[in-house]
């Protein structure tokens, strides 16, 4: 923060303190002069203002929710995401009821029981029953909510279904790398000291391991299949990142040297979400939800949720990382075997036939 910013903040704070002190001094002077009418009138004004603030504030909360909720959240695009949304709504209902009741009572009491000369405050020092009620009930409620959260957490991070597709996501400053297993459905081994982007080896795959020869590595986008569970194996190549999937209501840290996992099932293709959101430019995004350096703001990835047939077509067009590192070993570009010389192949046969006639 610059010195000018500090100066502006200091001036604002000083101005606030001056106004506050003048207001308090005026109030004390009025009391000392015996101007009780002014004091009581100010109390009534403050009481009405508090009541107006309560009403306008609750209207503002409702209006902001109705206006911004569709833009901020939208519909959850995964099975786990819908359950998380349900848990969130239950939490908001419970805490919202408590919030409204306490705020209504707070501001109403400030208005109803404002200062009057003949009114004396009732001193209520202690009540075991009340303390037990407002301690036990919130504790039980919060325990239930935490229990639901733990249940969904273990579902998300637990074992994926047997038919789940497995994809590896690796974070680096400041991009995402995606790896798919080949036809053997097995990831090849890797070692961080083998990372060499100049040789098309962003993940440090061990080429001595045959399982790595058909692994597909891409930074273009993460392709998923609608309706098929996907298990994400999450890694980091440098510092701690975080895979944030806001449309799917999922997130998980990417920790160097410690793979983490989570799984979910996409419910809508990218094209379907474009129609649902009325946004022709809609894309599922991966954000980094952990401050990871000066380029953190730019660390965004794209997810393409497609049909099974479209995924097969996309997969067929991809080249294995091994072939990208060693183009000369690409079967598609290998030189064809020389064709046999027909004259050489038929001449011996003709000679043998002539000899047989003799």
**pLDDT-based confidence at 353, cuts 50/70/90?**
very low
* Cα–Cα dist 155/12, whole Å: 50
Instruction: Flag whether pLDDT at 157 surpasses 60.
Output: yes
pLDDT of residue 56: 87
Residue 194 has a pLDDT of: 92
Reported confidence tier of residue 318, pLDDT bands at 50, 70, 90: very high
pLDDT tens-digit map of 85-103: 989 889 989 988 998 898 8
Q: Which domains does the chain have, with CATH numbers?
A: 14-116 (no CATH), 165-327 (2.60.40.420)
Kindly write down the DSSP assignment for every residue of 63-96, as one continuous string.
HHHHHHHHHHT----BHHHHHHHHHHHHHHHHHH
Q: What is the pLDDT of residue 338?
A: 57
Top-ranked range on mean pLDDT: pick from 56-65, 113-122, 150-159, 201-210: 201-210
pLDDT (0 to 100) of residue 33 = 58
Give the Cα separation of 316 and 329 in Å (integer).
Answer: 18
Q: Residue 345 has what pLDDT?
A: 47
Tell me the pLDDT tens digit for each residue of 225-258.
999 999 999 999 999 999 999 999 999 999 999 9
Query: For residue 172, which of 256, 248, 229 has the smallest C-alpha distance?
Result: 256
Instruction: Report DSSP letters for 276-310, one per residue.
Output: HHT-TT--EEEEE-S--STTGGG-EEEEEEE-HHH
Judge whether residue 218 has pLDDT over 80: yes
Task: Report pTM.
Answer: 0.73
| Among candidate residues 178, 203, 208, the one with its CA nearest the CA of residue 193 | 203
Per-residue confidence at 350, pLDDT binned at 50, 70, 90? Answer: very low
27-41, 68-82, 116-130, 143-157: least confidently modelled range: 27-41
Quick one: pLDDT at residue 42? 74
The rounded mean pLDDT for the chain is 85
pLDDT at 189 over 60: yes
The one-character DSSP state at 191 is -
């Amino acid at each position: 923060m610059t010195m000018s910013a500090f100066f502006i903040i200091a001036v604002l704070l000083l101005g606030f303190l001056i106004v506050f002190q003048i207001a308090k001094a005026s109030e004390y002077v009025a009391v000392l002069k015996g101007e009780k009418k002014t004091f009581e009138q100010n109390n009534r004004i403050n009481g009405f203002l508090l009541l107006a603030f309560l009403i306008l504030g609750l209207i503002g909360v409702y209006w902001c929710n109705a206006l911004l909720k569709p833009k901020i959240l939208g519909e959850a695009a995964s099975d786990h995401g819908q359950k998380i949304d349900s848990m969130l709504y239950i939490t908001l209902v419970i805490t919202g009821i408590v919030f409204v009741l306490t705020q209504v009572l707070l501001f109403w009491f400030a208005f109803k029981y404002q200062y009057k000369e003949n009114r004396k405050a009732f001193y209520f020092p202690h009540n075991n029953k009340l303390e037990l009620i407002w301690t036990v009930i919130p504790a039980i409620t919060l325990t239930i909510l935490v229990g639901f959260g733990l249940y969904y957490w273990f579902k998300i991070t637990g074992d994926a279904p047997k038919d789940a597709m497995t994809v590896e996501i690796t974070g680096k400053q400041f991009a995402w790398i995606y790896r798919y297993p080949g036809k053997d459905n097995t990831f090849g081994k890797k070692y961080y000291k083998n990372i060499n982007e100049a040789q098309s080896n962003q993940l440090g795959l061990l080429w001595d391991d045959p399982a790595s020869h058909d692994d597909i590595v891409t930074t273009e986008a993460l392709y998923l299949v609608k309706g098929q569970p996907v298990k994400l194996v999450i890694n980091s190549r440098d510092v701690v990142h975080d895979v944030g999937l806001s449309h799917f209501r999922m997130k998980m840290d990417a920790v160097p040297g410690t793979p983490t996992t989570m799984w979910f099932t996409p419910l809508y293709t990218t094209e379907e979400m474009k129609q649902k959101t009325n946004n022709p430019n809609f894309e599922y995004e991966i954000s980094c939800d952990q401050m990871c350096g000066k380029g953190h703001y730019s660390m965004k990835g794209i997810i393409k949720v497609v049909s099974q047939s479209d995924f097969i077509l996309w997969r067929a067009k991809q080249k294995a990382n091994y072939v990208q590192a060693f183009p000369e070993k690409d079967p598609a570009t290998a030189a064809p075997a020389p064709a046999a010389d027909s004259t050489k192949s038929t001449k011996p046969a003709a000679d043998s036939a002539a000899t047989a006639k003799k």
